[in-house]
Amino acid sequence: MQPIKTTLILGSFFIFLVAALAFFIKLDSDTDPSIYTDRLSANQTRASAAKKNNKEVREFEKSEVISKTDKVENEPSALFNDPAIKQAWGLKNSDAARAWKITRGDKNKITAIIDTGIDIDHEDLSENIWVNPGETGFDAKGLNKANNGIDDDSNGYIDDVHGWNFVSNNNNLTDNHGHGTHIAGIIGAMAENKKGISGIAPNSSLMILKYYDPKVPSTDNLKNTINSIKYAVKMGAQIINYSGGGTDFSQDEFDSIKEAEKKGILFVAAAGNERSNSDHHHYYPADYKLSNIISVTALDPNKEVLASSNYGTETVDLAAPGQNIISTLPGNNYGFMTGTSQATAFVTGAAILVMANKSDFKFDEVKKYIVSTGDPFTSLAQKTRTSRALNLFKALTILDSGVAANGVIARGTANDSFTPGQKENKNPTTTSEVTAFGKSLLEAVSPKPKFNRVGEKP
């Protein structure tokens, strides 16, 4: 009789426990339905991710091409004669025109883009693709090292001229999605070539590392990511741009970024598009506690964080433009995409500019200049650690005792001594303002069509 009694008591207790749990969950959802929905979607993502093969995974950040064209509207007056630049509201909001008066980047700074590959022949990118010096020129037999089938620089990869495809383990960097090409354009599309747009750092060198391909479904994204990071570290990148992620901590991935930290490499990571609070539901690699990581969330033109973007006052460093961002797409196309990937690319571009402007800076100084100088907005107080939105000009100038390179006191669009709750200049961007952006860019460069460094004699 005794075992039956025990079973009955335990059974009743279990039923009570389930009922209590159900009650609290309901209470929770009644209190704040939006939070509950967010939590549920994050949990579902995690569950489906874990189900896959019972190990940590990295998901490709879902962001689709919104529109696509091979014809971009011509605006002869626009800066650098790049016709579509006036459509780039993000460049206006992040004060690119003034930043470009100081620097446009440095081809000696190598940026690794870990993504879906790239169209290396794109008219607005081709000259800014990194070239591995160890796989160019001619070998002893007079063959071109780029395609002689030999690992000429003995780095473990054969003919890795511009980077590596870790999905198919070869040097074919073809972008079968468009995402990688789009990210590359935001960071470093060529300027003054009468084509397309201008990247934030039009003088740049982009190392292409492919970790995801929609045409190869069963690939191990996490493993490809880690191998890409190791390649970037080994081959001398100064900045790594990565916009994938997942909710599982990976010791191997952590170690590879720790190795990058030891080498002084900045790691710019997307906060993710899971609509969730990263302080409670970590998203990796953005949330690893490493000093070289900058976690970036996405803004709309009104300085609001996108509903789809992850946020967190402990985990997300700052916000940057990420909605309807125009950039390059494979096949000499251009188009608009949305997400924290796009915002991440803005910050990577900023890092190139800061490094170009202050070549002696260590990664921690570059990070400090970017995350602590942006425009403060109350709308970001509950969303980011710094309450700030990227400002390219301020990132280059404001920490120099508040005095710009040209001796003018740096003045932003908002108060520099901002505290959350304070009234700020929201500076919304209207369509007419975006159209006027081309003119403002022209004014920024006039009377000479080409830039000189500020303070330099023409």
Q: Can you give the binding site for Ca ion, defined by CB under 5 A?
A: 82, 124, 135, 145, 148, 150-153, 155, 157, 159-160, 190, 193, 195-196
Residues whose CB is less than 8 angstroms from the CB of residue 218 and which lie 6 or more positions away in sequence, other chains included: none
Length of the chain counted residue by residue? 458
338: Cβ–Cβ under 8 A, 6 or more apart, which residues?
Answer: 63, 66, 298, 306, 308, 322, 323, 324, 325
d(CA 265, CA 212): 22
Least distance in Å: CB of 438 to Ca ion? 14
Q: Looking at beta carbons only, is 229 or 299 nearer to Ca ion?
A: 229
Give the up-direction half-sphere exposure of residue 9: CA atoms within 13 A in the CB hemisphere: 6
d(CA 57, CA 248): 7
Distance CA 304, CA 306 (A): 6
Q: At which residue do the structure tokens 């002696």 appear?
A: 360
CA neighbours within 13 Å on the CB side: how many for 337? 28
User: How far apart are CB 153 and Ca ion at their closest, in Å?
Assistant: 5
Distance of closest approach, residue 356 Cβ to Ca ion, in angstroms: 18
Nearest approach in angstroms of CB 355 to Ca ion is 22
- Choice between 155 and 170, CB closer to Ca ion: 155
Two tokens, residue 349: 């571009």
Least CB distance to Ca ion at residue 84 (A): 8
Of 192 and 365, which CB lies nearer to Ca ion in the complex structure? 192
Taking the complex as a whole, the smallest distance from the CB of residue 231 to Ca ion amounts, in Å, to 10
Q: Which is nearer to Ca ion, 157 or 288 (CB)?
A: 157
Comparing CB distances to Ca ion, the nearer of 152 and 424 is 152
Q: In angstroms, give the least distance from the CB of 127 to Ca ion.
A: 10
How is 411-444 classified by DSSP, letter by letter?
A: --SS-SS--TTS-----PPPHHHHHHHHHHHHHH
CA 166/CA 114 separation, integer angstroms? 10
**CB of 153 or CB of 279, closer to Ca ion:** 153
User: Which residue, 60 or 164, has its beta carbon nearer to Ca ion?
Assistant: 164
**Residue 200 beta carbon to Ca ion: minimum distance, rounded to whole angstroms:** 12
Closest residue to Ca ion, based on beta-carbon distance: 82
Please say which residue, 141 or 448, places its beta carbon nearer to Ca ion.
141
CB closer to Ca ion, 119 vs 274 = 119
The answer to whether the beta carbons of residues 415 and 70 sit under 8 Å apart is no
Q: Which residues contact 342 (CB under 8 A, 6 or more apart)?
A: 63, 90, 182, 183, 186, 298, 321, 322, 323, 325, 327
State the nearest-atom distance from the C-beta of 141 to Ca ion, in Å: 11
Cα 26 to chain centroid distance, Å, stands at 37
CB 157 within 8 A of CB 173: no
Which stretches within 308-376 are classed as H helix? 340-357, 363-371
Q: Between 59 and 124, whose beta carbon lies closer to Ca ion?
A: 124
* Token pair of 35 as six digits: 């939070």
Nearest CA-CA partner of 283 in 338, 323, 341: 341
Q: What is the closest distance, in whole angstroms, from the C-beta atom of residue 131 to Ca ion in the complex?
A: 12
